[in-house]
C-alpha cells in the first residue's frame, strides 16, 4: 500500500489532524491538499520513482508536499532548512531531483546553478478533474533520508513504503496509540524521529500540535497544556533544557499520558529528574537509527527501576542481537556490535554500494553501536564505535564521561572529545553548558566532581564552558565540530 493512503484513508473528515500556530487543519483538509500536490506532480510530467526535494519547516505545507509526493509514486527527499549550500548542491546532483518544494524562506538556499529547477512554494490549487492514483509496490522507495556520512558527505538512506508501514505499526503497538492521542511535536519532520511522530499519529487518526518555539520552552509547555497533549517526544537536549531551564516540574499536565525519548542517550541523572518532574506519567526510553526507518528498541516504563541505563529490547517485529567481530553472539556483559533485522530495515544507501555492503549484510543492519546484553536480554549501549578515547592504553566511552559530568546538577549539557596528550596518548576534553550563566561552576569544582567518580587517567584535562553546544537541526550535538575546535584549542 502507498504510505499516503495508509495514513489518510478512513479518517473522519472533520477530525483534527494538525494544530499549528497559524491554524488548525482537519483530515479532510489534509487529504485535499495531499491530492492537490499529487495531481500537480503527475500533471507536470512527474514519473514514478523520480526524486523530489522538500525544504520547509513543519506545517501543512510540509505534510501536504511529503504525502503528495508519495501518493504520486515519487520519492521524497526531505532536508533541513539550514542545510549547508555545499551539501544541498551535492544532494541535488546525487538524487537527480527534477522539482523542489520549498517554503518561501527556504528558496534562497537553492544554489544559482540549480535555479532552472522548478520550485513550488505553496500548495497547488486543485484543477478539478478526477484524481489519478499511482500504485506502488511495498518495496518501492518512498523517501531518501540524508544523514552525515563517514566520508563527511551526506549519504541517503533508502526508505521503502514497506519500511515505513512496518515501523509505524510497531511503534503504535508498544506506545498503545489511539485516535485520542495528541503529540506535542517540536522535532523537525525531516528527521526520522520527527517523521515517525507524523506517521504514527496520522495512522491512528490522532493529531499533532506543531510548535517551533522550543527556544522559549515555557511557551511550548503552556501550549502543550492548553491543547491537552497526551504525549511529548524529544532528544536528550530537549529534556536537559526542560529539566534544568524551565518550570516543567511545577506545571500540571492532566491530559499527558507519556513522554518518549530517543536520538541519543539521556543521562541516568536526567531520567531520574524526569520521573520526579512527571510523576505518574509513562517514560519510554528508545533507541533507533535512520537506517531502521526510525525505531529499533524501547525500554518499557515499568522496567526503568529494574534496568536503569538500558535501551530495552527490540520493538515488535525487530530482532536485535549483539555480536563479536566473528559474528557470534557475545557472552553476558561482553561488548559487541548491535545487529538488527526486521521489515523496517532500509535496503541500503543511495548509489553507495560500498557503504551498503559494509552496513547491510544478508538483510541485517550492522549499526556501528557497541553494547552489552544482560541475562534477561536487555541491551545496554556503551557508545558509538567511533566515540571512544584511548587514555593510557585504556578504552574509555565518551558517553560514560558525559554521564558522570551531568551528575553535577549545575550543568545542562556536556560533550567529551579526545585530544592528543604526551603522557596518555589521548586525553578527554569536556565542553559543558552551565544551568546559570551568571553563576558558572569553576574548572576546579568540575575537576573535584570528576576525580571523586573517575580513575585519574580519564578525568578530563580541560573544561570549556559554553552558552550551548552546537547542534544540527534535529537537536543532536555536532561532535566533529567540537573535535576540530578542541584540537585548535590545544594547538594554541
CATH classification at residue 85: 3.40.50.980
Tell me: do 199 and 68 sit in the same domain.
no
Average pLDDT, the chain: 93
- Tell me the three cell numbers of residue 353: 554500494
92 plus 211 within the same structural domain? no
- 478's torsion region: left (phi>0), alpha (psi -120 to 50) or beta? beta
Question: In sequence order, what are the beta bridge partners of 185?
Answer: 210, 233
Q: Average pLDDT in the 148-160 region? A: 81
CATH number of the domain bearing residue 237: 3.40.50.12780
Residue 158 maps to a domain: no
Structural domain of 272: 165-384
Q: What count of other Cβ atoms lies within 10 Å of the Cβ of residue 104?
A: 11
Does residue 288 carry a pLDDT above 70? yes
Are 209 and 232 in contact by the 8 Å Cβ rule? The answer is no
Residue 133, pLDDT > 80, answer no
33 and 102 within one domain = yes
174 lies in a domain? yes
Q: Does the pLDDT value for residue 151 go beyond 60?
A: no
By mean pLDDT, which of 222-226, 246-250, 288-292, 484-488 is the weakest? Answer: 484-488
Classify residue 198: in a domain, yes or no. Answer: yes
Here the cell at position 289 is 537509527
User: Could you report the per-residue pLDDT of 436-466, keeping only the tens digit for each?
Assistant: 888 899 999 999 999 999 888 899 999 999 9
Task: State phi, psi for 219 to the nearest 5 degrees.
Answer: -65, -40
Asked whether residue 304 falls in the same domain as residue 235, the answer is yes
pLDDT at residue 168, as a whole number: 98
H helix runs in 108-155, sequence order: none
CB 233 within 8 A of CB 208: no
- Would residue 150 count as lying in a domain? no
349 and 273 in a common domain? yes
Do 248 and 131 fall into the same domain?
no
Within this chain, do residues 253 and 337 fall inside the same structural domain, yes or no?
yes
Span 239-258, pLDDT tens digits: 999 999 999 999 999 999 99
Domain count, the chain: 3
Which of 351, 384, 417 terminates a domain? The answer is: 384
Q: Is 279 inside a domain boundary?
A: yes
Place of cell 498503545: 176
Domain co-membership, 255 together with 403: no
Least confident of 85-94, 181-190, 338-347: 85-94
| Whether residue 318 sits in one domain with residue 250 | yes
Is 372 part of a structural domain of the chain? yes
Mean pLDDT, rounded, for 469-474? 86
Is residue 250 domain-shared with residue 360, that is, in the same domain? yes
- Mean local confidence (pLDDT), 271-285: 96
Cell numbers linked to 420? 592528543
> How confident is residue 127, by pLDDT bands cut at 50, 70 and 90?
low
Report yes or no on 148 lying in a domain.
no
- pLDDT of the residue at 421: 83
* Statement to judge: residues 260 and 331 lie in one domain: yes
Quick check: 149 pLDDT over 80? no
CA–CA distance, 184 with 264 (Å, rounded to integer)? 19
Q: Has residue 148 got a pLDDT over 80?
A: no
CA–CA separation, 76 and 312 (whole Å): 32
The SS3 assignment for 258 reads strand
Domain end: 384, 402, 424, which one?
Answer: 384
394: left (phi > 0), else alpha (psi -120 to 50), else beta?
beta
Rounded to an integer, the average pLDDT of 22-41 is 96
Share above pLDDT 70 across residues of the chain, in percent, rounded to a whole number: 98
Burial of 392 (0-12, 13-18, 19+ CB in 10 A): middle
Looking at 337, 366, 384, the residue that finishes a domain is: 384
Output the CA–CA distances (angstroms, integers) from residue 459 to 393, 398, 413, 415, 444, in the order listed. Answer: 14, 11, 17, 13, 12
What does pTM read for this prediction?
Answer: 0.89
| pLDDT at site 390 | 78
CA–CA distance, 120 with 107 (Å, rounded to integer): 9
Total residue count of the chain as it appears in this document? 492
Q: Determine the average pLDDT of the residues in 372-380.
A: 95
Q: The CATH number of the domain where 434 resides is what?
A: 3.30.300.30
pLDDT of 14 > 90? The answer is: yes
| 180 and 98 within one domain | no
C-alpha cell belonging to residue 344: 523496517
146 located within any domain: no
Greater model confidence, 337 or 426: 337
Amino acid at each position: 500500500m502507498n504510505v499516503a493512503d495508509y495514513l489518510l484513508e478512513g479518517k473522519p473528515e472533520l477530525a483534527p489532524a494538525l494544530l499549528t500556530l497559524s491554524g488548525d487543519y482537519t483530515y479532510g483538509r489534509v487529504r485535499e491538499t495531499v491530492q492537490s500536490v499529487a495531481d500537480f506532480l503527475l500533471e507536470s510530467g512527474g514519473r514514478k520513482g523520480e526524486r523530489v526535494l522538500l525544504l520547509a519547516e513543519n506545517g501543512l505545507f510540509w505534510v501536504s508536499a511529503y504525502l503528495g509526493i508519495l501518493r504520486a509514486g515519487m520519492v521524497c527527499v526531505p532536508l533541513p532548512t539550514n542545510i549547508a549550500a555545499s551539501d544541498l548542491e551535492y544532494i541535488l546532483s546525487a538524487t537527480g531531483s527534477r522539482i523542489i518544494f520549498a517554503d518561501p524562506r527556504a528558496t534562497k538556499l537553492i544554489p544559482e546553478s540549480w535555479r532552472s529547477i522548478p520550485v513550488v512554494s505553496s500548495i497547488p490549487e486543485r484543477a478539478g478533474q478526477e484524481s489519478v492514483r499511482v500504485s506502488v509496490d511495498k518495496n518501492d522507495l518512498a523517501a531518501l533520508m540524508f544523514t552525515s556520512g563517514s566520508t563527511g558527505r551526506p549519504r541517503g538512506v533508502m526508505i521503502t513504503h514497506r519500511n515505513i508501514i512496518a515501523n509505524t505499526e510497531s511503534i503504535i503497538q508498544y506506545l498503545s496509540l489511539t485516535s485520542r492521542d495528541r503529540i506535542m511535536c517540536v522535532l523537525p519532520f525531516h528527521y526520522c524521529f520527527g517523521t515517525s511522530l507524523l506517521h504514527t499519529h496520522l495512522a491512528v487518526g490522532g493529531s499533532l500540535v506543531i510548535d517551533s518555539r522550543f527556544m522559549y520552552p515555557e511557551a511550548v509547555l503552556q501550549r502543550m497544556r492548553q491543547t491537552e497533549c497526551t504525549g511529548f517526544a524529544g532528544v536528550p537536549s530537549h529534556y536537559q533544557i526542560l529539566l534544568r531551564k524551565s518550570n516543567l516540574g511545577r506545571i500540571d499536565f492532566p491530559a499527558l499520558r507519556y513522554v518518549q525519548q530517543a536520538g541519543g542517550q539521556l543521562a541516568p541523572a536526567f531520567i531520574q529528574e524526569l520521573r520526579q518532574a512527571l510523576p505518574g506519567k509513562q517514560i519510554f526510553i528508545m533507541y533507533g537509527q535512520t537506517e531502521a526507518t526510525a525505531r529499533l528498541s524501547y525500554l518499557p516504563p515499568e522496567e526503568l527501576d529494574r534496568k536503569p541505563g538500558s535501551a530495552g529490547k527490540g520493538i515488535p517485529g525487530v530482532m536485535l542481537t549483539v555480536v563479536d567481530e566473528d559474528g557470534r553472539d557475545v557472552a553476558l556483559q561482553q561488548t559487541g556490535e548491535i545487529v538488527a533485522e526486521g521489515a523496517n530495515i532500509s535496503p541500503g544507501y543511495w548509489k553507495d554500494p560500498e557503504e551498503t555492503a559494509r552496513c547491510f549484510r544478508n538483510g541485517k543492519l550492522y549499526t556501528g553501536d557497541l553494547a552489552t546484553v544482560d541475562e534477561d536480554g536487555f541491551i545496554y549501549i556503551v557508545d558509538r564505535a567511533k566515540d571512544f578515547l584511548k587514555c593510557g592504553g585504556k578504552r574509555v566511552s565518551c558517553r560514560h564521561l558525559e554521564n558522570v559530568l551531568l551528575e553535577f546538577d549545575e550543568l545542562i549539557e556536556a560533550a567529551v572529545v579526545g585530544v592528543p596528550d604526551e603522557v596518555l596518548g589521548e586525553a578527554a576534553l569536556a565542553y559543558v553548558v552551565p544551568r546559570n550563566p551568571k553563576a558558572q561552576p569553576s574548572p576546579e569544582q568540575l575537576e573535584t566532581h570528576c576525580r571523586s567518580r573517575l580513575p585519574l587517567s580519564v578525568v578530563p584535562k580541560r573544561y570549556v564552558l559554553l552558552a550551548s553546544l552546537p547542534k544540527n537541526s534535529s537537536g543532536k550535538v555536532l561532535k566533529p565540530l567540537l573535535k576540530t575546535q578542541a584540537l585548535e584549542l590545544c594547538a594554541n
